[in-house]
Structure 1
Amino acid sequence: MGTAQGLVNALASDVVKTITLTSDLTLTTNVAPKAGVTIDGGGKILTLNATSAGNTSAEGLFIQYDGVTIKNITITQTGDLNKDNLVEIYGKNATLENVTVNGGVKAGIYVNNNGKSDTTVTFNKVATSGNAWGGVGIAAQQNGDKVTANFLNFNSDETVGVYTEGTTYAGTYVVSGLTGYTESTVGTQQHWKK
């Protein structure tokens, strides 16, 4: 996919299961892959400049459905145009591989399980920097919700690399693989940082 419109068209398709970027792209709408879709960034940069605050919608890369894979891509925004988390994961069994997320006004990546019982996200060779709230935020909102976050070769220079919403919500968390990170309790949250 070499154009923003080409990416929009591919995302709207019910038959396209792999989308490969062939150039850096800038969009002013969110990017929302369907279930089972893989976006291979091909080493390119995806700049997400939707301008809504994201209070009732996801304005960056929105992984709403199950079984989505994002790989080989850098995700960012220009200035402070995008007021939301750059990547939001609501679907089950998401995988991020060789992904860099930087410059978010909120969290770089936010995993939000709200009524899906068990959600697992795999972070393989994910790097974050310059995100105001931290690299990866995780929420399990309802009683019975559980988020399992598996990290492999995670690298964050954020003040907070990873955080869970902890006792703010009723769900539970399993966070593994954060080698070299120190865990601490800060208010109602759990934080991991180098």
Structure 2
Amino acid sequence: MLSVLIVDDDELIRAGLRAIIEAEDDLTVVGEVPDGSEVVAAAVRLRPAVILMDVRMPRVDGIQATRLLLDRVPDPPRVLVLTTFENDEYVYEALRAGAGGFLLKRARPAQIVEAVRVVGGGESLLFPAAVRRLAAAYGPAEARLPGARLTEREAEVLALMADGLSNAEIAGRLFLGVETVKTHVGSILGKLGVRDRTQAVVVAYRSGFISP
């Protein structure tokens, strides 16, 4: 059973998300909080696998809440950001902070459920076109990638990650085993000093390794 914590300042949205999630046999809502200031305490108390996190909240927004969560909670839950606008600086900053992906609030129930499962399963929910637009609009350059000294194969894997391919899809494209791809992904994350695939892709765009 995949447990979910809902964080949103709108009570109607929280109720709607709860209804969608609890209609699934493999998902359950363990709690709701109305502001990012309550996220750390709720995560420690309830131990959710996934947090559905609104980015815009009145006291502590989803970006700061995500940073606090990753800094203060051992083995923190995965964060799936909820947003009204796809081209939103808040979304880009939340991905940089460590969110595993983002989802539009107008998404269909089936998309919300699938997103929770993907992020809860340890994968990142990436929309390459949207990340490209966000990187072009809000991404100041950084030099982390050129100094990371990726191997040629790691560079290929990172480029395919940025295209939104899963480990299995990358394995098929490069004629590698899935475990080999996982090893390359782990090495990429370590060399870039990032927590997950989403942050790796953001760094790839910000460094100029991939052009928006």
Q: Which has the higher helix share?
A: 2
Q: Structure with the greater relative contact order (CA < 8 A, sep ≥ 6): 1 or 2?
A: 2
Larger radius of gyration: 2
Question: Which TM-score band applies after superposition, normalised by the shorter structure?
Answer: 0.3 to 0.5
- When normalised by structure 1's length, the TM-score is 0.34
- When normalised by structure 2's length, the TM-score is 0.32
Q: Which has the higher strand share?
A: 1
